[in-house]
A and B are shown apart, each in its own frame.
Chain A
């Protein structure tokens, strides 16, 4: 069948290739799983996935609902944006909250101000059981962290939601295996092969809207342990959290967030990038990794992400 004739088309650009791969993965989930769900936080990666899902399934409805595991300590801007986006798309949004798990007694905090990110695992597993989901689509990327470099596109989790790095299915070609027995779960990562730069370039190309806190804004912060820590942050319920500690100097700074997550463990960076093209430029010239700069919870140990994943984290 091999001929010397050349194809008429040029190869795809890197963004077109990544987009096409992600659409393919989303459609494989829809084709292979009986009850998948798309984890949607309102963050930039999951907003890309929503756009990809539109390209994958329109004019049909998404073959899965959206779900957010809310720590209760999310930025109001992000939560509002989450609700607005789900409404615009006309897709069903399920919200399950870590605070409900706390009320049930399944999440116990060591102290009231303990970061809640890692406790999302419990609430997620409870939601998976409640709805009987057999696959959760997430926005994790392999370039985010060492422990993710070997992560599969379709990652297998056992009945306890645990990720066993030694018990993962080999993935060859584009033949993904999303089969699972009852109680087991697949985590599907359509943008595994994207870098932070690819995400921003895609946001720019597709003209995606984002929560305002991704862009440079003035904010009251303190310097704590080498990181910029936002203080007096209002929540959706009107409560204000993260007061400065005694002796800390409150500074009003121009910052933006590179990742958004639980308020108590997501730090902003100093930036004057107030639009997407400036962020693309900033991303191209930064000297600090996304997580290194902004995630206070991953620095505890070299392997802390691996540990959390074993416990059922995304």
Chain B
């Protein structure tokens, strides 16, 4: 219990990021090298991939082998799903979401992006800004990743040419301006940055090496170490979806007899003992009597902490309710409009009723209108009446239950939902509220 959140230990945090690109761009090599150079890969794993490299007739150890996982995929020679990797630098723990970059895997990219706070977009220096670069950038933007690092890779293959690198950066910025990405990032205090790199050699990843003295910016690892973590940049309104209500009723313990704890994780904002709160959708009001984390009593708590809230008044609250500050109440709604990415092989049916899960609350939902779908390569809007796997469309929903939502641009927790098909229980869609 010696390293709780309120210590002055600022040199320890966690960053989740994703990598966008295909194997051809050197994405697996990039991840492999980050793991290798931070000494995450241990001897037995290395000897395993050495054996495999030899078996495949390769001369050098193929670091990309570290990241291709399942037998089913190895047989097909492709990666079909999001894989999570871990490394640590001593000051930061990193979780990498690694998703394949091909067009047919839009859903995997959206899945990986949903938890990431930074995206590395890989560009092959020989090829420059491609259609897939646009697709990756659009998706990273759509899913609200605040920090984008464009890694111009394979600089070794163009003789570390500064002019060529600068042209690619200019091309990218022109395109980012065109789709409004650059402006909206800057408006929200976020950023796009560039690094020239060779994942194969290791230039500008963990070590600078000597090949690009003209580049004085941060290396990839420096960038990762300095990137803000989720929720650390702006004050946000307090949002506390109730997950579980604890009522021990222990008759032999007088103190516990009336214990009624509202358990959940703070999705955004901060709360302190004495704050006036409102429980939605019912609108009951009370004050925070106590905040607990395990056995510990806290005076205040912050975003991403899983806590138990005790209120002054006995009010009827259950899983699915949302506790907010009374100074910041938002009316629950029964109609929402959202960008939806369809995840299921079974196309969306406009005739059916689906389940929407938003924070800890579920509601039946009917599809209203599909305004348009977005071509992820050209970003063109197209009229459509149906939605297939990997499609992204703007859709309105009618809800059976009222939900307290924020727009996704304001809040990536209370602005997000998943769509569940009740007959199979599968997660078939992901929504971002407009």
Interface residues of A (CB under 8 A from B): 1-21, 23-24, 27-28, 30-31, 54-61, 63, 142-143, 146-147, 149-150, 165-166, 168-175, 177, 179-181, 192-193, 195, 197-198, 205-207, 286-289, 292-293, 302-303, 306-307
Contacts and interface: CB of A to CB of B under 8 A. Distances in A.
B270 A172 contact: no
Contacts of B95: 193
Q: Which 4 A-B pairs have the closest CB atoms?
A: A292-B44, A9-B302, A55-B294, A23-B306
B304 A150 contact: no
Nearest to B259: A59
B63 to A, nearest CB: 14
Nearest to B67: A149
B85 interface: yes
A181 B421 CA distance: 12
B416 interface: yes
Interface residues of B, number: 93
Dominant secondary structure of chain B at its interface with chain A: loop
Interface stretch (B17-25, B121-129, B218-226, B233-241): B233-241
Nearest to A18: B14
Contacts of B102: none
Contact of A31 (B230, B244, B411, B427): B244
B374 interface: no
Contacts of A58: 294-295
Interface in B245-303: 246-248, 250, 256, 259, 261, 263-265, 270, 293-295, 300, 302-303
Given A7-B232, A13-B5, A166-B72, A286 B244 contact: no
B263 A56 contact: yes
Contacts of B71: 147, 302-303, 306-307
Contacts of A18: 14, 93
Nearest to A30: B244
Interface of B: 1-7, 9-10, 12-14, 42-45, 48, 69-72, 74, 80-86, 88, 92-93, 95, 107-108, 110-111, 114-115, 188-189, 229-237, 243-244, 246-248, 250, 256, 259, 261, 263-265, 270, 293-295, 300, 302-306, 319, 343, 357-360, 406-407, 409-413, 416-418, 420, 425-427, 430
A285 to B, nearest CB: 10
A5 B234 contact: yes
A7 B72 contact: no
A96 B260 CA distance: 35
B423 to A, nearest CB: 9
A287 B106 CA distance: 37
B10 A10 contact: yes
23 contacts: A1-B407, A1-B411, A3-B235, A7-B232, A8-B300, A12-B5, A12-B304, A13-B7, A59-B261, A147-B71, A170-B111, A172-B430, A173-B115, A174-B265, A175-B358, A193-B95, A195-B93, A205-B1, A205-B3, A292-B44, A303-B70, A303-B74, A307-B71
